[in-house]
Amino acid sequence: MNSADLFRINLPGINVLLTLYLDAIDSYLKIDFQTYANSRSTNKLAAQETALLDRFTRIRSKSIYILMSIVSLPFHYENLSQNLFENYLEKSQDIQLSNKTFSQYRFKIFPLLIKGLMTEQDSTNVQLLFGKIIEFIKRKEQNIKSILGTIRLACSLAVQYEKQLEHSDEKHHKGTSKRDV
């Protein structure tokens, strides 16, 4: 709960924890309060339920704040790869190292934003989630526009190159026909 700014302060090696945090955030964002309350308590006194609701809201809020700090990472470090230990929680002798790029986290982050929005009851958290979903879509759109711009540039350069080749072929052809005469 006290690590909301952990990914914002750019600690060396912090990105290794990214998968763990996304899994933990997923576990809190996919459940609603009733499910959480049923799993925590069988006695539902009004005071206990209020305290439990407050705790649940704070945990979800902190989870959303952590998610907010993670959303931009796949866009900033898109092709940067990192080595991860896939079975870090299992008590296995075989620890397998996998290589993952930051752009692959997009496929995990966006569904988390949607899940959180679907189950959120706190209006502040809903606003945060809406804002990040809009930002995520705009960044994705900027990437698409950038790619389209690159494709357009490549096409125009190819057309220009073909025109130069045709022009040089015409000059070369005219030069050889004058020599033949």
The boundaries of the domain holding residue 80 are 14-154
User: Is residue 88 over pLDDT 70?
Assistant: no
- CA-to-CA distance for 133 and 113, rounded, in angstroms? 7
The answer, as to whether pTM is greater than 0.85, is no
pLDDT given at position 92:
54
| Structural domain includes residue 53 | yes
| Structural domain includes residue 9 | no
Contact (CB, 8 A) for 21 and 66: yes
Domains: count for the chain: 1
Nearest to 99 by CA among 77, 88, 85, 83: 83
| Structural domain includes residue 166 | no
Counting other chains too, the contacts that 106-109 makes at CB distance below 8 Å and 24 or more residues apart are: 106/74, 106/140, 108/22, 108/26, 109/22, 109/67, 109/70, 109/71, 109/74, 109/136
| Structural domain includes residue 180 | no
Helix (H, G, I), strand (E, B) or coil at 79: coil
Span 120-148, average pLDDT: 80
Residue 11 corresponds to which tokens in the numbers above? Answer: 């600690």
Nearest to 50 by CA among 61, 63, 62, 41: 41
| Structural domain includes residue 171 | no
Please provide the average confidence, as pLDDT, over all residues in the chain: 76
Contact (CB, 8 A) for 82 and 105: no
| Structural domain includes residue 175 | no
Chain segment 29-47, per-residue pLDDT in tens? 888 777 777 776 556 566 7
| Structural domain includes residue 133 | yes
Q: CB-side exposure of 173: number of CA atoms within 13 Å?
A: 6
